[in-house]
Amino acid sequence: MGIPALFEVRTGISFGTANLLSGEGAPGGSGGLSDEAGRGSLYLDLTNGLFYGKKLAGSGADKWVRLQGKDDLDAAMLGQSWREPARLRDGTAHADLATAETAVNTGTIDGVTLVEGDRILFDNIAGAAKNVFIVTGIPGSGATLTEDGNNASKGDAVFIQEGSDAGRQFVYNGALWVQQGAASSTEIAFLQAFIGKSGNGSEMPDYASTHIVTDDDPLEKAIGDLDAEIGAPVASPAARSVPGGSISDQAVNRNLQALDTALGSNPTSTRIISSGNPVNANLSLLDDRLADTRTENGATAVTTAVTLDSVPVDDALAVEWTIHARSVANPAKVWSGKILAVHDGAGTADATQAKHTAFAILKTGSISQLDFDVDLNGAGSAQVLRLRASSGEAADLRAVRSVVTGA
């Protein structure tokens, strides 16, 4: 059987006005068939295998254009600022390229399972360029990293597809890859910490205190809630001077400072109040003691025995009452005087007897059978010293406890 032979054309083939030609060197400019060929003709340079197409009729090299291949496109892309996207970014500090390759061969970086051909932006490998590296080989089976032939230059931009930086674009500033629109990843981390955000992604605020604000409320609403709680500025401050300055339509802290200065230092007298108490707590203590010290009680139209006042035995050793009585039927009948009473009780024991005396008595007329008594009632912490009164004719009585000696 014979050997098949190819149809041999030494000069070219003509397709109407278009020709398929070949020759040594680029076409055009030397006369001959390449100049005579019509528009749409093809030419093969046998010296390097490059193809040319004729775009314009006539002679000259400018009438031909070289057809572009992949190498031409790759070369054209080199040096371009916008690059092919990288699958992920690894900002981990690697001691050298071999350390980075070890990380690749774990099979996962930044939560992304790696495959051969992945493009990874490495910007912290000691001794290596801050650039995109391509995974060569299968991760986990001795894969290596090959640097992208497009050297990083100022202004280059890379879009990250996956990982924690997914959806972000990084721009090379001549020294570092920085997230577009941000100073650096360090700055982003600082801002996240500053506002209390735990990491990337969607996350609503988690406030440490929720007296006014509500968890998961946006910052704008939370600030509005706090502003509403603080209220409007002092619209009509009282006209008074204090050492720290008057309260006025000014910042809250300045008004607080004025109040603080006006209140002064902690109290030095602590017989009743405590230097560690808030103001209101100390005011309550003073109020309670004043209530015990001077209490006014009364009863109207008294005939049978009634209790005008009582004092816990544990709170007093001696009590003084100032009493005023007036007859209902005859207001001209008035009795006024004092009664002083004591008991024998102690903090750890109930009183068993109470004694009293009436003195400083003034009267006009005589209220029939007006009588006063002091007795004990109850036991333990509930035991009280009682002021009792009765009258043979209806009388209005008032009693003011003016002296209580603390037990």
- The per-residue pLDDT for range 314-359, each reduced to its tens digit, is 888 899 999 999 999 999 999 999 999 999 988 788 999 999 999 9
Question: pLDDT tens digit string along 1-21?
Answer: 567 766 666 667 877 788 888
Question: pLDDT tens digit string along 216-240?
Answer: 888 888 888 888 887 777 666 665 5
Whether 187 and 225 map to the same domain: the answer is no
Task: Name which of 22-31, 115-124, 366-375 the model is least confident about.
Answer: 22-31
- Say if 334 falls within a structural domain: yes
Whether 297 and 397 map to the same domain: the answer is yes
Whether 315 and 386 map to the same domain: the answer is yes
Question: pLDDT tens digit string along 167-185?
Answer: 889 999 999 998 875 445 6
For residue 305, the number of C-alpha atoms closer than 13 Å in the C-beta half-sphere is 8
Identity of the highest mean pLDDT range in 2-6, 48-52, 195-199: 48-52
Whether 93 and 186 map to the same domain: the answer is yes
CA–CA dist 300, 173 (Å, integer) = 95
Number of H helices, E strands in the chain: 7, 22
Please tell me the total count of domains within the chain: 4
Section 257-282 average pLDDT: 76
Section 297-309 average pLDDT: 94
Longest CA pairwise span in the chain (Å): 165
Q: How confident is the model at residue 405 (pLDDT cuts 50, 70, 90)?
A: low
Beta strand 88-90 with 119-122 is: parallel
Whether 182 and 96 map to the same domain: the answer is yes
Whether 297 and 400 map to the same domain: the answer is yes
- Assess whether pLDDT exceeds 50 at residue 407: no
Which two three-digit tokens encode residue 156? 């280059």
Residue 270: partners with Cβ closer than 8 Å, 6 or more residues away: none
Q: How far is residue 185 CA from its own chain's centroid?
A: 20
Phi, psi of 229 (to 5 degrees): -70, -40
- Say if 124 falls within a structural domain: yes
How many residues are listed for the chain in this entry?
407
Q: Please check whether residue 23 is in contact with residue 34, taking contact to mean a CB–CB distance below 8 angstroms.
A: yes
Q: Alpha carbon of 269 to those of 243, 272, 333: distances in Å?
A: 21, 8, 46
pLDDT at site 211: 85
Q: How far is residue 86 CA from its own chain's centroid?
A: 34
Helix (H) or strand (E) holding 112: strand 112-113
Q: Which residue has the higher pLDDT, 326 or 261?
A: 326
Q: Alpha carbon of 284 to those of 262, 269, 274, 287, 295: distances in Å?
A: 20, 16, 11, 5, 16
Whether 332 and 390 map to the same domain: the answer is yes
Section 382-407 average pLDDT: 87
What's this model's pTM, rounded to 2 decimal places?
Answer: 0.36
Rounded (5°) CA angle 122-125-126: 160
Which two three-digit tokens encode residue 360? 């400083």
- Say if 141 falls within a structural domain: yes
Whether 28 and 125 map to the same domain: the answer is no
pLDDT at site 183: 47
pLDDT at site 288: 72
CA–CA dist 149, 75 (Å, integer) = 9
Q: Alpha carbon of 396 to those of 55, 296, 308, 329, 357: distances in Å?
A: 129, 14, 11, 10, 21
Identity of the highest mean pLDDT range in 8-12, 37-41, 83-87, 324-328: 324-328
Residue 78: partners with Cβ closer than 8 Å, 6 or more residues away: 149, 150, 151
For residue 368, the number of C-alpha atoms closer than 13 Å in the C-beta half-sphere is 8
Residue 121: partners with Cβ closer than 8 Å, 6 or more residues away: 86, 88, 89, 90, 131, 132, 158, 160, 170, 177
Which two three-digit tokens encode residue 306? 């009634």
- Say if 22 falls within a structural domain: yes
User: Residue 215 belongs to what domain range?
Assistant: 205-230
Whether 58 and 99 map to the same domain: the answer is no
